[in-house]
Amino acid sequence: MDEIERKFLIKNLPDLSSIQAVKYERYYLFVGNSIELRIQRKNDEYELERKVATGDLSRTSQFCQLSFEEFELLKKLSSRAIIRDAYQISELPDVSIKIYHGDYEGLVRAEFEFSSEAEANAFIPPDWCSIEITKSDLGRDSRLMNLTRDNFLQILNDLK
């Protein structure tokens, strides 16, 4: 599965009251050499995901389902968790809003997925979006994991 994304901070949160949130609990097992290996719980489903960078804005993903017991065992290999709620705003185009909790409380970002890098590069975000964070430490969960709470808050405040 290919993924081509751009991510933005949100200036004015759209009404999410009619959208069911997907609850994420995510742990990273390995990050390096353009590869990420992570486990996550999405509501009551558990999976192992491998992501590989294939371009400036694109990555491929492979998934493997896990049992609850496998998930609980593997999460012990990670030092921190990413906890967030995801709201699917639309599917064509694929637009979602991620609201973070815990160590990353205060981060609210919009993610837009595209069918090509050319389409992504030509995209003009809606007016409820703020600054683009695709390539910043706030644009990827694997980069968030490396930030202390103070570093995270400093970067977030500098961008607002």
Per DSSP, the three-state class of 117 is helix
Question: Which residues are catalytically annotated?
Answer: 28
Query: Which structural domain range is residue 20 located in?
Result: 2-159
Tens of pLDDT, residues 70-107: 999 999 999 899 999 999 999 878 999 999 999 999 99
Q: pLDDT tens digit string along 25-74?
A: 999 999 998 999 999 999 999 999 999 999 888 899 999 999 999 999 99
The 10 Å Cβ neighbour count of residue 107 is 21
Whether residue 159 contacts residue 9, with contact meaning beta carbons closer than 8 Å, is answered with: yes
Please state, as a whole number, how many other Cβ atoms lie within 10 Å of the Cβ of residue 84.
23
CATH code, 48: 2.40.320.10
pTM (whole model) above 0.85: yes
Q: Supply the pLDDT for residue 154.
A: 95
The domain tally of the chain equals 1
Report yes or no: 95 and 89 within 8 Å, Cβ to Cβ.
yes
Task: Name residues whose C-beta falls within 8 Å of residue 134's C-beta, 6 or more positions apart in sequence.
Answer: 5, 6, 7, 8, 57
